[in-house]
Chains A and B, each alone.
Chain A
């Protein structure tokens, strides 16, 4: 019954019979091993001696075979001895089988056997109490066979797991395992069939329990066989098999599900026919627990794979060459043959290693940076991390050029059903507003979708960060360029600026018509137009905040980047500049949030206003300041009172006057000395100029409107 499990602790005779399998790597200290061996041999001899005595006694008393047998079966002490003897035979047979199929048992295997055996022992006791009416020698024999088979199922499972641990797996091992699995499977099936026929012919009895137990054993054996096949494939493959862990996980989930289902059915049937099976409670609980764990594992694993595919770029060969080239998880070299991933903290790992780690911990293994976060939580991160995530989002699209788009394509066997873009969309908690400038590059009148974003102020920066084509992510490792770069290409640091759309399409005729006239709705349309300007300013402020966070992260040693294009103009803005604009916009944000559906179209066509680079002019600065102050006053006034008595017309006209009186600044972009580092003042100038240019653009629109009116 309990083959090979007897070495853990001294146990009462006669069960503590068999000798302990010695610890792997050599026999333990001689004295204890010899004593244990001796003890078991002695006990066995005792049993044999007693049996001999009983037999001799019976034969002496009855002189004939049949009467002796009858005598023994009638006498209780004799039967006890015979039972013990048969027990010893079972143990001996078990040891023989173990020797044939397993050789020596390892310490861990013995430990597990002992542990599981005691559980089975108590559960068997519980079963006996439930079926106490059925107890017969037959019943005991069946249970002995069950426990016997169970032990070998456990051993097979352990041995197959051990395949992963041992560097040298012999042919003998495979022969043993395959033949044992076949034998166990056929025995299981036989016994299930027997239990089935018995239940069908004689009605529900204890055979139900057996049928169920063997069904469970069969699922365990199936798992073992699948694992064995997976291990064999891995063992004899040329390269490490990266997806093996995923397959194992799925096997566990499927088998866990089948087992849970079996337990449910079993409990249901037993409750119907007998009573609640207490003995099935513990294994059922454990099965459900492990099923839940496996299921969670699959979820985490899928999430990890998904995040890696979408968020983190593959490391380029140059990046690999720059580091020491060894994956810290498996301590093996990373080369271009394997897929490697770079985390936001610039640590590089094998993709498969990272995946299995992310299944357990969602941190960078090296620096423990929290890298796998729920999409919505990114905003709470420190600026650096947040920006890095954005960077990697965009870098994905950029990197495809460098890496032959390898990382975007799901590899075979790795959840091709996942759409890599799903995550990108998931990052944005609200719908992305359309950008007319981007969508209508051809210069058609901006006709953006009617759906208004619920909160345009916050949407814009993030939306633009994802919609605009960012700089290639690889650029973050290359030295900053010192020559003129075309716009959209050379921003050498992480965050791509939320660019204003390329092409300004202007207001449509309908919109212009709406603003004509002196009616109240016309005035309102004009006010809305002004509000749109505020939204534009908000976007600009967000953009600048983004830049300032980038600037704060830059190392002092890294040179600032030349400002040549609209893309990089305000990139090196300072915090003071940002603060000044923040004050402006914060006062207007209240009204901005009121923008309704009808105005969204104007909003985005206004957003299309293309800022132009203008020559530095201190007087212009003052102009801009004045305009901003006006805006401030106006908006705060507006917010305070909803009274229609306010004359927006007047505000509008003064604004227009202000704007028109400023000299024309829409000159072409001046050729600047690229190498000279822009000073602080110049940076601020840039921002102001840009802002002013937007106003000017708007003013021109108003102008056109005026002229139309007069016509």
Chain B
């Protein structure tokens, strides 16, 4: 038998490919390694990220689901809760006890009940509604609060970029 983490990831992948949620796609990058996933998230409707298809990389720890995966956007994206290098800062991806500042309640954070699907859905709603209270990208948070028009311009530029370039996953898998 394979390890618990591997079996759970396989089960989640199966579930995700059988009933994919709207606007989401995710799966392991290769059959050899189920601990590296790639996900495609479409920008939510009626937001600045509308129509964009953002590619992100999910890295799972050995003891998944006891610890959360790490998520990093490979596509360029300008968002208050995403670091400039693409790392996603969202409470659902933080293990309880990680937050020394006490910004987040432990109920929002990672537990084995969460899943890839829930993480991606949370990220999707985060795209729609940025949390500017504890921003990862301070510039983006400032612009979001004070200069929404400029923010929209940058977001549109990035959306166009995601549509123009080949999604990284395709170029990798061919």
CB distance from A7 to the nearest CB of B (A): 16
Count chain A CB atoms within 10 A of each CB in B31, B33, B171 and give the residue with the most: B33
Please state if A353 and B4 are interface contacts (CB–CB under 8 Å). Answer: yes
- Please report the C-alpha to C-alpha distance between residue A329 and residue B12 in the assembled complex, in whole angstroms: 12
Residue of A nearest to B95 (CB): A360
- Please report the C-alpha to C-alpha distance between residue A219 and residue B23 in the assembled complex, in whole angstroms: 49
Residue of A nearest to B1 (CB): A240
Which residues on the B side are within 8 Å of A366 (C-beta)?
A: 111, 113
User: When A106-B33, A240-B7 are in contact, do A356 and B1 touch as well, CB less than 8 Å?
Assistant: no
Residue of B nearest to A242 (CB): B4
Q: Is A164 an interface residue (CB 8 A)?
A: yes
Count chain A CB atoms within 10 A of each CB in B3, B12, B107 and give the residue with the most: B3
Please state if A365 and B32 are interface contacts (CB–CB under 8 Å). Answer: no
Which residues on the A side are within 8 Å of B2 (C-beta)?
A: 164, 167, 234-235
CB distance from A343 to the nearest CB of B (A): 13
- Please report the C-alpha to C-alpha distance between residue A24 and residue B62 in the assembled complex, in whole angstroms: 18
- Please report the C-alpha to C-alpha distance between residue A247 and residue B101 in the assembled complex, in whole angstroms: 35
Q: Would you list which residues of chain B between 87 and 129 have a CB under 8 Å from chain A?
A: 95-97, 106-107, 111-113
- Please report the C-alpha to C-alpha distance between residue A161 and residue B6 in the assembled complex, in whole angstroms: 12
Q: Is A368 an interface residue (CB 8 A)?
A: yes
Which residues on the B side are within 8 Å of A162 (C-beta)?
A: 33
- Please report the C-alpha to C-alpha distance between residue A107 and residue B1 in the assembled complex, in whole angstroms: 26
- Please report the C-alpha to C-alpha distance between residue A599 and residue B66 in the assembled complex, in whole angstroms: 55
Q: Is A522 an interface residue (CB 8 A)?
A: no
Residue of B nearest to A238 (CB): B1
Q: Is A168 an interface residue (CB 8 A)?
A: yes
CB distance from A268 to the nearest CB of B (A): 35
Q: Give the size range of B's interface with the partner.
A: 35 or more
Please state if B33 and A26 are interface contacts (CB–CB under 8 Å). Answer: no
Tell which of B1, B29, B174 touches A239, judged by Cβ atoms closer than 8 Å.
Answer: B1
Q: Is A28 an interface residue (CB 8 A)?
A: yes
Q: Is A76 an interface residue (CB 8 A)?
A: no
Please state if A164 and B172 are interface contacts (CB–CB under 8 Å). Answer: no
- Please report the C-alpha to C-alpha distance between residue A385 and residue B19 in the assembled complex, in whole angstroms: 38
CB distance from A175 to the nearest CB of B (A): 18
Q: Is B144 an interface residue (CB 8 A)?
A: no
Please state if A24 and B4 are interface contacts (CB–CB under 8 Å). Answer: no
CB distance from B86 to the nearest CB of A (A): 15
**25 CB < 8 A contacts A-B:** A23-B172, A26-B30, A26-B172, A106-B33, A107-B36, A162-B33, A165-B5, A166-B32, A167-B31, A168-B32, A237-B1, A238-B1, A240-B1, A241-B1, A329-B65, A329-B112, A330-B8, A332-B8, A353-B112, A356-B4, A356-B66, A361-B96, A361-B97, A363-B96, A368-B111
Given contacts A26-B30, A164-B62, 17 further A-B contacts (CB under 8 A): A25-B33, A26-B172, A26-B174, A164-B5, A164-B6, A167-B2, A167-B6, A168-B31, A234-B2, A238-B1, A240-B1, A328-B113, A329-B66, A330-B7, A356-B63, A357-B66, A360-B95
